[in-house]
């Protein structure tokens, strides 16, 4: 998940009230937010608080933003599974959200407690596969301990990118053809658990996101254009992002932010297209302003099972 920018977090005592999503107000117990890196954990904490839900942030050491300390929080090292479960129970949490990026750790960098040691056979099985396989296995481990997992978008539906043209610039017919090509390519790759994004120029897939993430893929596209491997005159091409086929949407939905727009602009792309309702953004309004200033479109297309084309 790319590092993105978001509004400064508002601690719970300074937050107002707002209409809540059903998942955000279920029960009176606090919501546990397990925080990886990036701005999304703080955005979700703000949204849950506005909806009237108390939160407690469980921040992963070495990954979570220090700004979590403005909220009720506990720091947890990777591998302290037993401590995390015990602390969530002590705080009265049953509902759990995982949000933020987490790089696959080396085993020597993990602090194993006894509960984690008991999980080692399962962990080794989870590591033999892609990110969706791994995260689904992590979720099952918490469910086995009696916790209920929620997607971040269930708690903060406003982070989902909506459908249609989102800024001043509209995609043309050629760009919509690129969107269709990218969506098809990602549907084919999805069962292999490879990635959630591709760059398409003139119906030609020129880059595929894998372990490097979106930002580094876009940097690679800029380098390919600079050294002449991409010859289409800028602006040309589309970054397309969708969830993986059969993805567990409680974890690791594709994301966008200001860094995505900046990277796409440096790569000379004409725009960004994502599956509406399947991609999240920390600050969509700021991202759209940046895209407008760069002359790029941002477009949300219907999921493939709802429409046969990108229009």
Report pLDDT digits (tens) over 101-158.
877 666 666 676 666 666 666 666 665 666 666 667 777 888 888 999 999 999 999 9
Q: Look at 38 and 103; give whichever has higher pLDDT.
A: 38
CB-CB contact of 94 with 142 (8 Å): no
How confident is residue 280, by pLDDT bands cut at 50, 70 and 90?
A: very high
Q: Calculate mean pLDDT across residues 11-29.
A: 43
Whether the pLDDT of residue 279 is over 60: the answer is yes
Averaged pLDDT of the chain: 84
Domain ranges of the chain: 12-156, 160-301
Query: What is the per-residue pLDDT for 42?
Result: 95
Query: What is the per-residue pLDDT for 205?
Result: 97
CB-CB contact of 24 with 47 (8 Å): yes
CA–CA gap between residue 182 and residue 137 (Å, rounded): 28
Query: What is the per-residue pLDDT for 116?
Result: 63
* Least confident span in 106-115, 192-201, 208-217, 235-244: 106-115
- 3.50.50.60, 3.40.140.80, 3.40.50.300, 1.10.1040.10: which CATH number matches 160-301? 3.40.140.80
Whether the pLDDT of residue 26 is over 60: the answer is no
Whether the pLDDT of residue 237 is over 50: the answer is yes
- What tens digit of pLDDT does each residue of 240-262 get? 999 988 778 887 789 999 999 99
- DSSP character at residue 66: G
How confident is residue 1, by pLDDT bands cut at 50, 70 and 90?
A: very low
CB-CB contact of 61 with 76 (8 Å): yes
DSSP the chain: ------PPP--GGG-------HHHHSSSSPEEEEE-BSSHHHHHHHHHHHTT--EEEEEETTTS-GGGGGSSEEEE-TT-HHHHHHHHHHTT--EEEEESB-PPPPGGG----HHHHHTHHHHHHHHSS-HHHHHHHHHHHHHHTT-EEE-HHHH-GGGB--SEE-SS----HHHHHHHHHHHHHHHHHGGGT--SEEEEETTEEEEE--TTHHHHHHHHHHHHHHTTS--SPSS--EEEE-PPTT--TTS---EE-HHHHHHHHHTT-SEEEEETTS-EES-HHHHHHHHHHHT-EEEEEPPTTT-SS--
Judge if pTM exceeds 0.85: no
How confident is residue 191, by pLDDT bands cut at 50, 70 and 90?
A: confident
Query: What is the per-residue pLDDT for 15?
Result: 34
Q: Calculate mean pLDDT across residues 193-211.
A: 92
* Least confident span in 70-74, 119-123, 302-306: 119-123
For the chain, how many helices (H) and strands (E)? 11, 13
Query: What is the per-residue pLDDT for 236?
Result: 95
Whether the pLDDT of residue 68 is over 60: the answer is yes
Query: What is the per-residue pLDDT for 291?
Result: 97
Whether the pLDDT of residue 202 is over 60: the answer is yes
Query: What is the per-residue pLDDT for 133?
Result: 62
- 3.40.50.300, 1.10.150.120, 3.40.50.150, 3.40.50.20: which CATH number matches 12-156? 3.40.50.20
């Amino acid at each position: 998940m790319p590092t993105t920018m978001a509004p400064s977090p508002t601690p719970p005592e300074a937050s107002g009230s707002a209409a809540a999503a059903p998942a955000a107000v279920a029960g009176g117990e606090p919501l546990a937010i397990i925080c990886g890196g990036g701005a999304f954990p703080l955005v979700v904490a703000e949204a849950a608080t506005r909806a009237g839900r108390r939160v407690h942030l469980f921040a992963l050491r070495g990954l979570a933003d220090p700004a979590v300390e403005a909220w009720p929080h506990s720091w947890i090292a990777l591998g302290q599974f037993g401590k995390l479960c015990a602390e969530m129970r002590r705080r009265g949490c049953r509902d759990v959200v995982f949000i933020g990026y987490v790089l696959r750790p080396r085993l020597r960098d993990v602090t194993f407690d006894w509960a984690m040691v008991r999980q080692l056979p399962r962990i080794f099985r989870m590591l033999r596969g892609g990110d969706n396989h791994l995260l689904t296995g992590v979720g099952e481990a918490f469910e086995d301990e009696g916790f209920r997992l929620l997607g971040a978008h269930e708690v903060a539906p406003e982070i989902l990118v909506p459908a249609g043209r989102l800024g001043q610039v509209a995609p043309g017919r050629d760009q919509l053809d690129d969107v269709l090509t990218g969506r098809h390519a990602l549907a084919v790759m999805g069962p292999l658990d490879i990635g959630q994004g591709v760059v398409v120029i003139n119906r030609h897939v020129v880059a595929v996101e894998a372990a490097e993430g979106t930002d580094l893929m876009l940097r690679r596209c800029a380098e390919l254009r600079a050294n002449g491997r991409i010859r289409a005159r800028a602006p040309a091409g589309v970054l397309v992002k969708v969830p993986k086929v059969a993805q567990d949407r409680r974890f690791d939905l594709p994301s966008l932010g200001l860094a995505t727009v900046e990277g796409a602009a440096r790569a000379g792309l004409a725009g960004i297209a994502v599956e509406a309702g399947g991609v999240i953004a920390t600050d969509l309004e700021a991202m759209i302003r940046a895209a407008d200033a760069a002359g790029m479109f941002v477009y949300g297309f219907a999921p493939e099972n709802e429409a046969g084309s990108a229009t």
